Structure 1
Amino acid sequence: MSEEPQPDEETDDPGSARERLEEGADKAVGEFDQGVVDLLAWLLDTETRARIYVYLRQHSESTSEEVAEGTGLYPSTVREALAELHEEDTVSRGKRESEGAGNNPYEYEAISPSELVSGAIGQVQNQLNAVFNLDDRLDRDSEGDDEGPVTISVTDADAEDADEAEESTDEDATAAAEDE
């Protein structure tokens, strides 16, 4: 008596395949999110500040209490970090308008990622140039200028796309004129 092969329930069940795909997608998103937080922690000095920045990018005009609740951080930690980030111009703040008398708390908003990266570029560029010019510095026994072989520039992706579209339109018009 021969047994018929049983279908593999795990591979034939469409619900199971969907669950595996969703689990894989969740894992990829989690790893991506952690990668972004790690990069921001490097730019902003701590993971706490990075988490606050991400929260404010997603929920602009939030109070320190809302940020603490949304991030799971202690309110005192959030207030201290927000004060530092405001002093460094990484977040802006303004008073929340409210009806009637009472406490009008500050609302915070984070700067755009391109502004954040632009602010860090000068520091990175100076550090790279210091490394590349190390021999010169050691020979001179004094600090020279930070001009060197490294120049880093950041452009806004939206502005760059608009420039490329404009160039493409100019090229199309030139080609059309030549065809006539």
Structure 2
Amino acid sequence: MTSDEFDADPAADPDDGLALDPGEGDDESATERTREELRKTRERLGEGAGKAVKGFDDNVVDLLAWLLDTETRARIYVYLRDDPRSTSDEVADGTGLYPSTVREALAELHDEGTVERDKRESSGAGNNPYEYEAIAPSDLVRGVVGDVQEELNAVFNLDRRLGGESPDGDAEPVQISVGGGEENGKGGEEGDAAAESDEDGDR
């Protein structure tokens, strides 16, 4: 390469560092077109990132809907994990659900032990609403482990049942343990040992 090849392009805009084709028109219109393209590209990238986040959120809600029976209950649970100590009206505003639907779902979730509630403290006179808080995800999982384990063992014993044997004599090779780290003190090597003992029982 010669030193002449490094000379500045007369059609380059010093503001954006992009070389422009002089054949496309004057420098100003070409620069404006380039900036418009960059703006559109940034918007597309932003939309793509937004869709990725929404897709992640939707996947979590779908999974929780399986655990909590409905998408409505799942969305309320996610909202309360993110904004604990919220009233039913605040949950309705935050989720976009009807207030009556939220109140009904919160009553059910409270009866099941999935959410806890306390009266909101207020210095003034009047009706103090309930504040709701969702239990930890590890506690939620522990609550359904027994049912899932029973269903998996029923599938495992399908051939025995089809052969006319009583479900009362089902083997239980599937053992699910939930490790919660510091919460239940069972994790790390101890949790691994429990998992290995379950596998040994399958052999």
Q: TM-score interval w.r.t. the shorter chain? A: 0.7 to 0.9
How far residue 72 of structure 1 moved from its aligned partner, in angstroms, is: 1.4
Secondary structure in 1 aligned to 2:167? coil
SS at match of 1:149: coil
Per-residue deviation at 1:11? 10
User: Residue 172 of structure 1 aligns with which residue?
Assistant: none
Higher relative contact order, structure no. (Cα contacts within 8 Å, ≥ 6 residues apart): 1
Relative to structure 1, the CA distance from residue 19 to residue 104 in structure 2 (aligned partners, 3 Å threshold; closer, same or farther) is same
Structure-2 change in CA distance of 1:56 and 1:10 (3 Å): farther
| Count of residues in Structure 1 that have an aligned counterpart in Structure 2 | 161
- Write out aligned runs for 1:1-180 (5 A): 13-144=37-168, 147-156=171-180
CA RMSD of aligned residues (A): 3.0
TM-score (norm 1): 0.76
The change in CA–CA distance for 1:146 and 1:47 in structure 2 (over 3 A counts) is: farther
**TM-score normalised to the size of structure 2?**
0.68
- Percent identical among aligned pairs is 64
The equivalent residue for 1:174 is: none
Q: Which runs of 5+ in 2 are unaligned?
A: 1-20, 25-29, 189-203
Could you say what secondary structure the match of 1:156 adopts? coil
Offset at 1:66? 1.0
Query: Is residue 152–residue 174 contact of structure 2 (8 Å, CA) maintained in 1?
Result: yes
SS at match of 1:102: coil
Conserved? CA contact 1:82–1:91, under 8 Å? yes
